[in-house]
């Protein structure tokens, strides 16, 4: 028997402050960065890259945290499990997540290593190239996984990015077990093509082991997961292994396969794409918000597309506009 | 005899990171804030207000620093004298100012008090209401005023805001003397109506004492300075006391009185005003850049208006677009 959920979504993710600067293609080449990807960097590289990049703005980020910010803006009750350090960027992250109405109570650890930051270079084509210094975020311990909290969330949402560090990986494995014991849904995002390459066997193990109910991916990620260039084949293969598969396709829209049945939506029109950071995160926010409301997969996709369209129309991966209003206009 | 200037503008100002959030009028009322003003707050109030305000973005600010950022973007050689603490916000401020091409070499002091921040609430009418915790910024010491640096700047630019703390006030008085000994121009902004109220006698002393060559003000500030509601009278009275007076009038444009001769420009059209933070700072940036280029007062005003129009079209008080390109389009 499943008790009533106090939270709609409980997420485990990286606690990151994004440091967002404009850059040109020449700068990416100089720094040997692969446009559109996420690269993990150490403290020295973070220092060098920050010194050499342009003036920036700081906006709280973190993939799952962005998703919760979107879902919370859409009226969902959310809680986050993530690790910040006892420093100013940790205060910034904590403030922003709480100000968005999300419960976040993991105690800080010391100020060394510092709170994670992601140096994001946005090129004139609005693509974002991310360079993440994980800092304190990689020390999210299994002990921070509050079993009652996990049990009280209708959906447990996890980001693949967190698989890069040992302690958070163990924390997520523990959380999945608790969620499943309590008949909660587990949602997972593959996060990034290179991330899938690094952890393909683990991710396949989770999927084939029946640990994931709702899987989010983009084209690169699902093709990397299945080690094929054939998008349709990758979708067909993966859709058999999860109850709900959601694949975003940038300007080509998105598809969902729910219990074997497929549907698709076009991308929402955007006047000017400024910064694609957070597009996938906000798509997940919209989709899951619809899912919680028991909407059709088509409606869930539309909600995802509307939320994603809002976030790519400005710098930063957290919504600025009233998503509920945008959705009311779109869905009626 | 005046030696050639290595810098176009050397400024002394507050080193502040802006913390910018959307807010509604009800929130301003609840917090008893006067819309459009700048209020100095202590650490406790900063903590409470930050806790209660919405999710924010952090963008480097500080009035004179914003002006230099604009002037640097316009190709001017600039240096800043300001005080940050040895903390993450200090790193952010330092990075952003240097990444903008501005020389900034004042050593950090300890991390207590921390680097200054300004909690900025932007209402739907795009007005900004600022709440400044000065922190380390109020400990900018006269010893940090490098006489050679001041002597090597064609213009010394000072912000009235800095008059609120004892040490920076002494630092500015010292800098003015050095600039005048070296036949440099001294430019000063009155900063804020309440700031003028707090320091009217001092500001009048500077002006009547022949210490200021170029004075920047808005309507409120110049009326407060002259203790009159009669704008024209305030302008006429003040213009007699400085070589160049520049008064910005928001959507009514701006006027300059240079050596007794007046001119005016309309405000530049802006598609959508988002956040008026930094409008005056960037107006000064454009005007001074034209001044350095020996342009006519009319052209200087237009340059100010174009720079101001850019900065109010987005969140944050530092320019995002290529101001040189905008000006080339506008002035030909």
Helix (H, G, I), strand (E, B) or coil at B97: helix
* CB-CB under 8 Å, A21 with B54: no
The model's pLDDT over B79-110, given as tens digits with 9 standing for 90+, comes to 999 999 999 999 999 999 999 999 999 999 98
Structural domain contains residue B41: no
Q: What is the pLDDT of residue A1?
A: 45
pLDDT at A332 over 80: no
Residue A47 near chain B (CB below 8 Å): no
CATH of the domain at B168: 3.40.1190.20
pLDDT at A4 over 90: no
Structural domain contains residue B154: yes
pLDDT at A144 over 90: yes
CA distance A18 to chain B (A): 10
Structural domain contains residue A235: yes
Residue B325 near chain A (CB below 8 Å): no
The model's pLDDT over B206-215, given as tens digits with 9 standing for 90+, comes to 999 999 999 9
Residue B48 near chain A (CB below 8 Å): no
Structural domain contains residue B51: no
Q: What is the pLDDT of residue A2?
A: 59
Tell me the C-alpha distance between B250 and B36, whole Å. 12
pLDDT at A5 over 90: no
Residue B22 near chain A (CB below 8 Å): yes
The model's pLDDT over A56-71, given as tens digits with 9 standing for 90+, comes to 999 999 999 999 999 9
Is the model more confident about A181 or about A332?
Answer: A181
- Let me know: does A82 contact A65? Beta carbons within 8 Å: yes
Domains identified in chain A, total number = 1
What mean pLDDT value characterizes chain B?
96
Residue with tokens 């990758």: A234
ipTM: 0.94
Of B53, B92, B318, the CB nearest to A99: B53
Interface probe, candidates B23, B55, B126, B316, chain A, greatest A C-beta count within 10 A: B55
Where does B243-332 show beta strands of DSSP type E? 244-248, 254-258, 261-265
Residue B183 near chain A (CB below 8 Å): no
What mean pLDDT value characterizes chain A?
96
pLDDT at A111 over 90: no
pTM for the predicted model, two decimal places:
0.96
Of B53, B100, B114, the CB nearest to A55: B100
Residue of A nearest to B56 (CA): A96
Provide the chain B residues 229-268 that lie in CB contact (below 8 A) with chain A: none
Structural domain contains residue A2: no
The model's pLDDT over A132-141, given as tens digits with 9 standing for 90+, comes to 999 999 999 9
Structural domain contains residue B124: no
Cβ neighbours of A54 in B, within 8 Å: 99
Cα dihedral across residues A27, A30, A33, A35: positive or negative = positive
Q: What is the pLDDT of residue B171?
A: 97
Q: Binning pLDDT at 50, 70 and 90, where does residue B2 land?
A: low
Structural domain contains residue A118: yes
Q: Binning pLDDT at 50, 70 and 90, where does residue A195 land?
A: very high
Residue of B nearest to A117 (CA): B88
* CB-CB under 8 Å, A57 with B59: yes
Residue A70 near chain B (CB below 8 Å): no
Residue B69 near chain A (CB below 8 Å): yes
The model's pLDDT over B237-253, given as tens digits with 9 standing for 90+, comes to 999 999 999 999 999 99
Tell me the C-alpha distance between A109 and A136, whole Å. 7
Domain of residue A42, residue span: 7-331
């Amino acid at each position: 028997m499943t008790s009533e959920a106090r939270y709609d979504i409980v997420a485990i993710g990286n606690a990151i402050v994004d440091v967002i600067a404009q850059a040109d293609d020449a700068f990416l080449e100089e720094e040997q960065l692969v446009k559109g990807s996420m690269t993990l960097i150490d403290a020295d590289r973070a220092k060098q890259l920050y010194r050499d990049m342009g003036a920036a703005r700081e906006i709280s980020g973190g993939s799952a945290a962005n998703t919760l910010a979107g879902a919370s803006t859409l009226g969902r009750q959310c809680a986050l499990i993530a690790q910040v350090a006892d420093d100013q960027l940790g205060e910034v992250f904590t403030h922003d997540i709480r100000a968005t109405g999300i419960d976040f109570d993991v105690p800080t650890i010391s100020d060394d290593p510092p709170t994670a930051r992601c140096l994001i270079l946005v090129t004139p084509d609005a693509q974002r190239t991310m360079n993440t210094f994980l800092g304190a975020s990689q020390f999210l311990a299994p002990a921070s996984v509050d079993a009652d909290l996990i049990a009280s969330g209708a959906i447990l949402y996890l980001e693949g990015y967190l698989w890069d560090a040992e302690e958070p990986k163990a924390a997520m494995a523990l959380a999945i077990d608790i969620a499943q014991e309590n008949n909660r849904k587990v949602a997972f995002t593959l996060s990034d093509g290179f991330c899938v390459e690094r952890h393909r066997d683990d991710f396949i193990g989770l999927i084939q082991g029946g640990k994931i109910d709702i899987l989010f991916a983009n084209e690169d990620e699902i093709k990397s997961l299945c080690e094929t260039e054939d998008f349709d084949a990758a979708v067909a293969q993966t859709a058999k292994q999860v109850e709900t598969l959601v694949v975003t396709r940038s300007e080509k829209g998105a598809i969902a396969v729910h219990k074997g049945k497929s549907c698709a939506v076009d991308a929402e029109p955007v006047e000017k794409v400024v910064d694609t950071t957070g597009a996938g995160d906000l798509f997940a926010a919209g989709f899951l918000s619809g899912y919680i409301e028991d909407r059709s997969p088509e409606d869930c996709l539309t909600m995802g597309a509307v939320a994603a369209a809002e976030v790519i129309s400005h710098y930063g991966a957290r919504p600025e506009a009233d998503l509920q209003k945008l959705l009311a206009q779109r869905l009626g």
